[in-house]
Amino acid sequence: MTKLPIIIDTDPGIDDAMMLTLAFANDDALDVRLVTTCSGNISQDKTNYNARTFLSYIGVSVEIARGLEQPIFRELEVAEDIHGESGFGNVQFPAPTLPVSKRPAITAMLETIMTSDDKITIVATGPLTNIAALLLAHPEVKQKIERISWMGGAAVGGNMSPMAEFNAYVDPHAVEIVFRSGVPIVMSGLDVTHKAFVTINEAKSILNIGTEFAEKAYYLVTYYLDVIKKTPFHEENYDQVLHFHDVCAVMYLLKPELFKGQDCYVEVALEGITSGATVVDYTNRTDKAPNVHVLHTVNREEFVAEFVKAVEIISDRLK
């Protein structure tokens, strides 16, 4: 089986850690060439540290490069109210053994992509700042990127404002650059990620695996239960389900048959009350060519089963 070569750009973050769990548990299918960190859920200092400490803990050897500090034209807005001050709720991991790469993220991505014999897929689970900077500074990489699988955006309703999802809201100018790049894009927006939930009972099945890692995973994801009710956009069943938003961006690469979506023209609002809103032309009323494959449905039961399997795989490796 040929592995899919990927770069992961992430801002860990609780669900980012769960995404990394899925990606590295499936190393028979995914060849993670590089991990880069973006500023989003928390500051760059914290996202890079968290990526290194989490991946060190699960026994991964991979280059982890530090990305840009701020969005392209804005001050950074973080989500410590959701992920906790550290980004990992109340869960602690040992100090990292993996170092910060000597290459900055943009250079590391450029060199990884351009020296690869195969096209690279980019998984992005935070604001698209690093990806946009890469495409602006080095447009020659476009022909060597297979696609970008991004967790972000929303067709209907936001979680940062009435219309904007967090990752798009933090750096909408980066979204515009990436969406206009011509690189194939798969968007796992809130429309599908809100359907990719895990119930409390299903989360307890993770805890029941009985390993230290499974316990940490359980307490990471259930941290949301105490904080999400404080946000103005929580759903009525917030105390019964856990959303694994970022996991979708990797799960789609592993199990595309679990998802349904369609090719659409998508544009992002840059200013005002709609800033960060990703406007999806589901009905082709703009007569503009589709630029994004927008996911909207997921087989939730199979999604959960695949994720639990990933926790079991990592748990077995750490025994």
Distance from C-alpha of 219 to C-alpha of 209, rounded to nearest angstrom: 13
| Cα four-point dihedral sign 129, 56, 189, 263 | positive
Q: Sort strands 185-188 and 145-151 into parallel, antiparallel or unpaired.
A: parallel
| Distance in angstroms (rounded) separating the CA atoms of residues 240 and 105 | 38
Q: Count CB atoms within 10 A of the CB of residue 157.
A: 16
DSSP 26-75: TTTTEEEEEEEE-SSSS-HHHHHHHHHHHHHHTT----EEE--SS-SSS-
Pull the structure tokens for residue 160.
């940062």
Determine whether 245 is an active site residue: yes
Interatomic CA distance for residues 192 and 269, integer angstroms:
21
Q: How many Å apart are CA 289 and CA 285, to the nearest integer? A: 11
Residue 117's φ and ψ, nearest 5 degrees, are -75, -25
Look at residue 295 and give its three-state secondary structure: strand
Q: Which of 83, 243, 245, 293 is catalytic?
A: 245
- For residue 153, what are its two tokens? 């955006």
Q: Which residues are part of the catalytic machinery?
A: 245
